[in-house]
């Protein structure tokens, strides 16, 4: 069925290293994807988005890569910091921006 | 920076009771949403609201749920007769315009049904 999911539930990285969080989607008609960060006790916070007519988009210390051939999305965080520790969700936005379909989440743990 | 606010932060209720969760979306936003997150699980869409009516709802959003925008600032989610399985974090979100897909989330209300 149509779904948005994540490969790994937990990712542990050393402070200063780069982090890569992966996401797979199964709906080939998906055309818009978002990464959210959720810290403990808070709501999801928008990080970066990408449309299907792009394969890469960069923000401040973050890069999202989209591979439509294999229906794979990744979030790269450069020079990971302790403040990056959180759960990261990919989400698919459909129906011209209406409902969001979230993946299961990956917990990023940054070791000092 | 404008933000979505939600009250209360934590609501405890007895099974069968009605609860109303309140949200104040960002003031110039036009689209409003409710999502829920059961502990340890992913965030799930409940309902979207635009122009004073529901535009889309999920299977979770059954007859026990309703939403309302009673005035120009509040957006509420009502659960008429709560069940144990309604225990979850409930997030409100808002979006500015159709051309802008970014949804801004509030901090959530933790609902505990006993």
Of A14-18, A81-85, A107-111, B98-102, least confident by mean pLDDT is: B98-102
Query: In this structure, what token pair is assigned to residue B38?
Result: 């059961």
Q: Percent of chain B, pLDDT > 90?
A: 82
Q: Say whether A97 and B35 touch across the interface (CB within 8 A).
A: no
pLDDT at A41: 82
The SS3 of residue B53 is: strand
Count of A-B CB contacts under 8 Å: 57
Query: What's the CA gap between B55 and B33, in Å, rounded?
Result: 10
Whether the predicted pLDDT of B10 surpasses 50: yes
Asked if A89 lies within 8 A of B43 by C-beta distance, the reply is: yes
**Per the structure block, which two tokens stand in for A77?**
């965080």
Q: What is the pLDDT of residue A17?
A: 97
In this prediction, residue A97 carries a pLDDT of: 55
Average pLDDT, stretch B52-61?
Answer: 93
Are the beta carbons of A102 and A88 closer than 8 angstroms?
A: no
What is the CB neighbour count within 10 angstroms for residue A108?
Answer: 21
Nearest to B42 among A96, A98, A103 (CB): A103
The pLDDT value given to residue A78: 97
pLDDT in tens, B67-78: 999 887 899 999
* Sequential DSSP letters for A16-57: TS-EEEEEEE--TT--EEEEEEE-TTS--EEEEEEETT-SEE
- % helix, strand, coil for chain A, step of 5: 5, 55, 45
| Candidate from A41, A89, A99 with C-beta closest to B45 | A99
Nearest to A97 among B91, B98, B106 (CB): B98
Query: Over the stretch A6-65, which tens digit does the pLDDT of each residue have?
Result: 445 899 999 999 999 999 887 777 888 999 999 988 899 999 999 989 999 999 999 999
Q: Which residues of B touch A96 (CB under 8 A)?
A: 98
Q: State pLDDT tens for residues A89-108.
A: 999 876 555 788 888 889 99
Q: What is the three-class DSSP state of B80? A: coil
Residue A4 above 60 pLDDT? no
8 Å CB contact of B56 and A99: yes
Give the 3-state secondary structure of residue A95.
coil
pLDDT of res. A50: 93
Across the range B43-58, mean pLDDT stands at 93
Cross-chain Cβ contact A34/B102 below 8 Å: yes
Interface contact flag, B45 A97, Cβ < 8 Å: no
Position A3 scores a pLDDT of 47
Are B29 and B51 contacting, i.e. CB atoms less than 8 angstroms apart? no
Residues of A within 8 A of B101 (CB-CB) are 32, 34, 49, 93, 97
């Amino acid at each position: 069925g149509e779904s948005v999911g994540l490969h790994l539930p937990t990712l542990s990285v050393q402070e200063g290293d780069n982090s890569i969080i992966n996401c797979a989607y199964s709906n080939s008609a998906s055309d818009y994807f978002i990464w959210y960060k959720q810290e403990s006790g808070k709501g999801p916070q928008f990080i970066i988005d990408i449309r299907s007519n792009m394969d890469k988009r960069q923000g401040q210390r973050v890069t999202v890569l989209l591979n439509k051939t294999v229906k794979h999305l990744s979030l790269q965080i450069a020079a990971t910091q302790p403040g990056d520790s959180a759960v990261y969700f990919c989400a698919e936005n459909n129906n011209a921006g209406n409902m969001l379909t979230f993946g299961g989440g990956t917990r990023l743990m940054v070791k000092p | 920076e404008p933000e979505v606010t939600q009250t209360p932060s934590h609501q405890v209720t007895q099974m069968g009771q009605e609860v109303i969760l309140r949200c104040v979306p960002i003031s110039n936003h036009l689209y409003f949403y409710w999502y829920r997150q059961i502990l340890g699980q992913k965030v799930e869409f409940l309902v979207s609201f635009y122009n004073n009516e529901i535009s889309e709802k999920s299977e979770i959003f059954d007859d026990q749920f309703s939403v309302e925008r009673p005035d120009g600032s509040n957006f509420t989610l009502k659960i008429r007769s709560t069940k144990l399985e309604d225990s979850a974090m409930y997030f409100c979100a808002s979006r500015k315009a159709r051309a802008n897909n970014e949804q801004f989330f509030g901090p959530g209300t933790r609902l505990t049904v006993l």
